[in-house]
Chains A and B, each alone.
Chain A
C-alpha cells in the first residue's frame, strides 16, 4: 500500500513542484451592507509530500482559505493552483449514515472510477492503514467519534489525491483522542507521501506538526509567522524542544490576537 502510493508520487512530472500554490489570494464576502475582507494577499506554497499546519485564531479566515483551495469557492483576487483535485476532511466526520464504514470508502473509490472488483480489497487496505480492520461492516452510528474520523481519513485517502486538506478535523474530539489521532495522521502521512494542509486553532496540535507551521494574521493580511519544525517523532509534550516551540507559538498567536483585537 505504502509502496504503491510512493510509486504514484514518482510519476509526478518534474514540472510539478508544488501540491498547492496560493498566490496573492484575497477574498471578500459581499453583502448589501458592503463587502467584508476576510483574506488579504496570502501567498503560500505546499511542496509535494509536505505537511503544512495552518494556525490562526478563530475568525482569521483559515477555513475560508481551505474552501478556496478545495475549489468550493473562488478567490476575489489572486490565483490558486493545485496538483489535481484535493481531498477534504471536515471537522464533522461527514460520513454518510446510510452506508457502512467500508461502503463509505468504496463510494469514494467508485466516484474516482476504480473498477468494482478492486474496491473491496482497497477499502479493507485503507481501513487497515487507519487501524480499523474489522470495521468494514460497521454503521457510522456504531463507531466512536475517534473511529469516525479515522474512517473519514481513510475515505479522504481513497480519493488518491496528492493533497489532503484538513479543516480542524480533530477539534470535536477529546484531548487524548486528538493527540492519538494526530500521531496516527503523521504516521499515515509519512507512509503515503501525500501532502497535507492542516488547519487548526490549537497550539498543541501545531506543536505536533511534523514539518512546517504557518501562522495566519488575525487581521486580514499576509502570513504573520512561519516555523520549520525539526523535532523528531515520536514526540512527547514534556520534551523541552516541544515546550519551547509551544511557548513561542503561543506568544506569537497572542500577539496577533492582541494587536488586532479579534477573538
Chain B
C-alpha cells in the first residue's frame, strides 16, 4: 500500500503541484501581468466553485461524457464486426483496408461541416462525428490484433476441431485481444477529440452546454478563467476514462497472459 502511494500516486501529484507553483509564480511576480491572458489559479478555482454552486458543473461534464461514452459504445458495436470482416475476408480487406487506415489520419473535425449540413444541429450530428472518428481506429486495432496472432495458435485451434465462426470466437478473437484493446483505447481518444471539435463548432441552445460549448462560451465572453476551466475538465475526463476503464482492463488481460512483469 505504501509502495503504491510512493510509486504511483506521489510522482503525478508532485508534477501537478509543481505546475501550480510555477503558474502562481508567473502571476504573483507579474511575469504575465494581464489577467485576460493568464488568470491566476484562484480565479480559475472561483470559476469552478461558482459553476459548482450554480449546479451547472456536473451538467457540463455529464452532457459531454454521456455523449462521448454512448458514441464510443456505438463505434464499438460497428467497428468490431467491421474490423473482423476486414481482417478475415481477403477481398474486403483489399477493397476497404487502405481507406480504413487512411481515414484514421483524417482529422475528424473535418467531418463537422458535412455532418451539420446532413443532420442539422442535433445530437445525431455529434454521434455521426464521433463514429467517423472512432470506428476506423477500433476496426484497425482489431485488424492489426488479428494479424499478430501467432500462426501456431491458428493451427492448434484447427487441430482441436475449431472452424469457421467457432474458430473466430474461441481462437482468433481472444488471441487478438491485446491489439483490440489498444485499438479501443485509441478509439476512445478519437471519440473524445471528435466530440470536443463538434461541440466547439456546432452550438445551439437545443444541444445543451457540454465542455466544448463551455470553451466556446468562454471565448465569446472573453473569460480566460472559463476557458481554463473547460480545458482542465476536458483533460481530466480524458485521463479519468483511460485510468478508470482502459488501463485496468489492459493490465488485467496482459497480466493473465504473463505479458506484464510486476515492477
Contacts and interface: CB of A to CB of B under 8 A. Distances in A.
A72 B174 contact: no
A59 B7 CA distance: 53
B156, B171, B174, B258 pick with most chain A CB within 10 angstroms: B156
Contacts of B159: 70, 72, 87-88
Contact of A72 (B155, B166, B256): B155
Interface of B: 152-153, 155-156, 158-162, 166, 170-171, 174-175, 177, 253, 256-259
Contacts of B253: 98
Contacts of A87: 159
Contact of A94 (B153, B161, B170, B256): B153
Given A98-B177, A98-B256, A110-B170, 17 more contacts: A70-B159, A72-B155, A72-B159, A85-B161, A87-B159, A90-B156, A94-B152, A96-B156, A96-B171, A98-B257, A107-B160, A107-B170, A108-B160, A111-B166, A112-B161, A139-B256, A140-B258
Interface in A123-140: 139-140
A248 interface: no
A83 interface: no
Nearest to A67: B155
B178 to A, nearest CB: 9
A97 B174 CA distance: 9
A166 to B, nearest CB: 12
Given A96-B175, A98-B175, A98-B177, A111 B162 contact: yes
B249 to A, nearest CB: 14
Contacts of A88: 159
Contact of B156 (A85, A94, A112): A94
A107 B153 CA distance: 13
A261 to B, nearest CB: 31
A197 to B, nearest CB: 14
Contacts of A200: none
A8 B218 CA distance: 79
A142 B258 CA distance: 8
A90, A99, A107 pick with most chain B CB within 10 angstroms: A107
A139 B160 contact: no
Interface string A73-104: 00000000000010110101010111100000
Contact of B257 (A72, A92, A108, A141): A141
A246 B177 CA distance: 48
